[in-house]
A = this chain, B = another copy of it.
Amino acid sequence: MKEFRNFLIDTWEQKTSLLCFGMDPVVERMKIDKSKNLSDEIVNYFSRIMKEILLKITAVKPNLGFYLQYGNEGINALIRLIEEAKKNEVPVILDGKFCDIGRTSEAYAKFAFEIAGADAVTLNPYMGYDALMPFLNYKDKGFYILGLTSNPGAKDFQYLDVSNSEKLYDRVIESALKWNNENSGVGTVIGATQKEIKRILENLSRIDNYIPLLIPGVGTQGGSYKELNDLLNKLNYKKGVVRINSSSAISYAHENFPGFSYTEAAYLAVEKIMKS
């Protein structure tokens, strides 16, 4: 089994794209046949987009919440869709923002890595190290710990000054760096919409670890892929371990590209995102 960090680097070397495709089903926005089996339709919809843009993406990120909203049918679709992604040799990041006491984290980790077969997960740091450890025990997997998120509410707690006058998110990112020494799959999440991302990336580029970075917030949320790519080049950051995510701007691109099929529209959206 390949280490997650190397899996990231290998796919980047093949495709030189940082783009992660967020696959979040919203039935009302999907071009599907509502008389057919929902689970089949979700798998088919995202598999078709994935294949269309396969040469342009180096990760996929299904978000658990969007599947759970369709109950057991949704979870069934999630598991099958991850299987499809693995056939296409794309790293799969299951976005569950997991965080619970040890025994419960074990159950979540079993779900994420053994039942769903994901290569990596997102984790929420609030409950500290022992809540994350059951995940980190999976040696070949990846772990994106929420640092500074892309939403406005990030300011409520993440921006608080903590002891030694740094921000809470700085402290979390420092912890991720420390935990990366135990498992090279440990990385962090930094929202593309936050102006502090420049300073954070500058700091991280001075450290040898080059931890995996997941940067959401490009596309619908307003962050810029090109600016981030230029900044990473300038900083000489090891780009192979970075992924920039866009979800609905790709999945529901047909809403912005009238006259095109949803797969063609997704391809056009990807080209647009990577140029802007």
Are A108 and B68 closer than 8 Å at their CB atoms? Answer: yes
Tallying the copies of this chain within the complex gives 2
The segment from A42-50, A121-129, A199-207 that touches chain B is A121-129
14 new A-B contacts at CB < 8 Å, known A72-B72, A128-B157: A24-B107, A63-B100, A63-B107, A65-B108, A69-B110, A71-B75, A101-B149, A101-B151, A102-B151, A125-B126, A126-B158, A130-B152, A157-B171, A157-B172
Residues of B within 8 A of A146 (CB): 126-127
Between A and B, 12 residue pairs with Cβ closer than 8 Å are A65-B100, A65-B104, A65-B111, A68-B108, A71-B115, A72-B73, A103-B248, A124-B124, A124-B126, A126-B126, A126-B149, A128-B156
**CB of A162 closer than 8 Å to a CB of B:** yes
Interface size range on A against B: 35 or more
Give A125-145 interface residues, CB cut-off 8 Å to B.
Answer: 125-132
**CB of A275 closer than 8 Å to a CB of B:** no
A246 CB to closest chain B CB (Å) equals 13
Secondary structure at chain A's binding surface: helix, strand, loop or mixed?
helix
**CB of A195 closer than 8 Å to a CB of B:** no
> In the bound complex, how far is the Cα of B27 from the Cα of A115, in angstroms?
15
**CB of A79 closer than 8 Å to a CB of B:** yes
